[in-house]
Amino acid sequence: MDNRPIKLSEILTHLGEERDHYFQAVAPPIIQTSNFAFKDTASFRAAFLDERSHHLYTRGNNPTTEILRRKLAALEKTEDCLVFSSGAAAMSCGVLANIKHGDHVICIKNPYSWTNKLVSKMLPRFGVDHTFISGEDISEFQRVITTRTRLLILESPNSITYGVQDLEGYAQLCHKHQIVSIIDNTYASPLFQNPVDYGIDLIMHTCSKYLNGHSDVVAGALCGTREMMDKIFASELMTLGSILSPNDASLIIRGIRTLALRMERVSNTALEVARFLESHPKVEQVMHPLLPSFPQHHLARKQMKGAGGLFSFLVKTDSKEAVNKMVDNLKCFLLAVSWGGHESLVLPFSIFHDMPNRQNPPYQFNLIRLYIGLEDADYLISDLEQALEVI
């Protein structure tokens, strides 16, 4: 089933760990240093000539973060990986590296909120314009490509309504028109979807979700060719300097040890909870990319080996207060943003409606997103059951 060049178990348990260098310690050391010293002027000079392959200063390379980078690159089957202080930093650096003044960007509509801000608010300040596409029909993309289009930003599935894009179709068109493609692959994780298999150039992850998996680190990653990573290292990574600390890298390495276990567990529990909700009379609709009722479930099944713990549902009510009351009645779900940790979460879109001086979000007030953590399905289902009684 696992067609990575290196076995998944090898990546999670050993890859990148050179234990001969640190007393055969099983857990890699946190090389908590900003600076590295040189034996002589010749080796000092050599490091300046090629900082990318030397330890000169931790804004560039650090041995602890290198272990994480090697694991993430192997998980995404790419030549290399760079890590950042957040997923937002990774996406911003991946985008900025591939555009210049006068270029045009095509982006999937309603991407992650800060990707949206980057494309619609920041890039125009630097003379880069954009078109949002639904991503459901590839001909729409062909229609909006211009001679100035340099970049396509995908997010498949997205993390609220799980819209899926035909990765192979988009990658082929991008290659034909010399457009760089970047995807936010956070929803699927590298275990359930490897976009390079379909020809996507750059894969972005926030490690804050599944990769770290314990809700105690904010971090991001970009995976791609050595050439692309060289370019981003020498420019955006080093100039913007939004790097990951060795300490946080070591926490993510620890989290990754159990990635396969956690993904299997949350995927199974989430499907069980989603099926329960789908059969509940007070639920109008469940949005989960692998349920047969999901409009794009064939494409989702073709591209993804699993779906993880995130899904959404619509409560059958026309009262915002009823939604809030139902959510307030939940005892086993924390009311919070983010996801991918050990704990189950609930995010009701009712809270974003009728905010002063703000537009309503493009989602109905009765939409609720659940993240299913590592708890038992029965524990979560009985909590939802009692909370839905108020509807």
Footprint on this chain of ligand PLP (rule: CB under 6 A):
86-88, 112, 159, 184, 186, 206, 208-209, 218, 220, 338
Question: Could you tell me the smallest distance in angstroms from the CB atom of residue 220 to ligand PLP?
Answer: 5
Q: In the complex with ligand PLP, which residue's Cβ is closer, 68 or 283?
A: 68
Q: In the complex with ligand PLP, which residue's Cβ is closer, 254 or 325?
A: 254
Q: Taking the chain, what is the end-to-end CA distance rounded to the nearest angstrom? A: 43
Q: In the complex with ligand PLP, which residue's Cβ is closer, 203 or 387?
A: 203
Taking a C-beta distance cutoff of 8 angstroms, is the pair 85, 244 a contact?
Answer: yes
Question: Could you tell me the smallest distance in angstroms from the CB atom of residue 339 to ligand PLP?
Answer: 7
Nearest to 206 by CA among 284, 296, 270, 115: 115
Measure the CA dihedral 168/171/175/179, to 10°.
Answer: 170
Q: In the complex with ligand PLP, which residue's Cβ is closer, 73 or 221?
A: 221
Q: Is 380 helix (H, G, I), strand (E, B) or coil?
A: helix
Question: Could you tell me the smallest distance in angstroms from the CB atom of residue 19 to ligand PLP?
Answer: 30
Q: In the complex with ligand PLP, which residue's Cβ is closer, 87 or 308?
A: 87
Taking a C-beta distance cutoff of 8 angstroms, is the pair 84, 59 a contact?
Answer: no
> What span, in angstroms and rounded, lies between the C-alpha atoms of 48 and 84?
22
Q: In the complex with ligand PLP, which residue's Cβ is closer, 87 or 190?
A: 87
Question: Could you tell me the smallest distance in angstroms from the CB atom of residue 11 to ligand PLP?
Answer: 21
> What span, in angstroms and rounded, lies between the C-alpha atoms of 4 and 100?
35
Cis link prior to 157 (omega < 30° from 0)? Answer: yes
Taking a C-beta distance cutoff of 8 angstroms, is the pair 374, 265 a contact?
Answer: yes
Q: In the complex with ligand PLP, which residue's Cβ is closer, 326 or 372?
A: 372
Question: Could you tell me the smallest distance in angstroms from the CB atom of residue 50 to ligand PLP?
Answer: 30
* Residue 284, Cβ density class (10 Å: 0-12 exposed, 13-18 middle, ≥19 buried): middle
Question: Could you tell me the smallest distance in angstroms from the CB atom of residue 77 to ligand PLP?
Answer: 20
Nearest to 325 by CA among 345, 301, 303, 351: 351
Nearest to 187 by CA among 169, 168, 206, 173: 206
> What span, in angstroms and rounded, lies between the C-alpha atoms of 321 and 327?
10
Question: Could you tell me the smallest distance in angstroms from the CB atom of residue 177 to ligand PLP?
Answer: 26
Question: Could you tell me the smallest distance in angstroms from the CB atom of residue 158 to ligand PLP?
Answer: 7
> What span, in angstroms and rounded, lies between the C-alpha atoms of 95 and 115?
10
Q: In the complex with ligand PLP, which residue's Cβ is closer, 112 or 192?
A: 112
Q: In the complex with ligand PLP, which residue's Cβ is closer, 184 or 375?
A: 184
What residue is closest to ligand PLP based on CB? Answer: 87
Question: Could you tell me the smallest distance in angstroms from the CB atom of residue 185 to ligand PLP?
Answer: 9
> What span, in angstroms and rounded, lies between the C-alpha atoms of 114 and 182?
15
* 77-97: b (≥16 Cβ within 10 Å) or e: bbebbbbbbbbbbbbbbbbbb
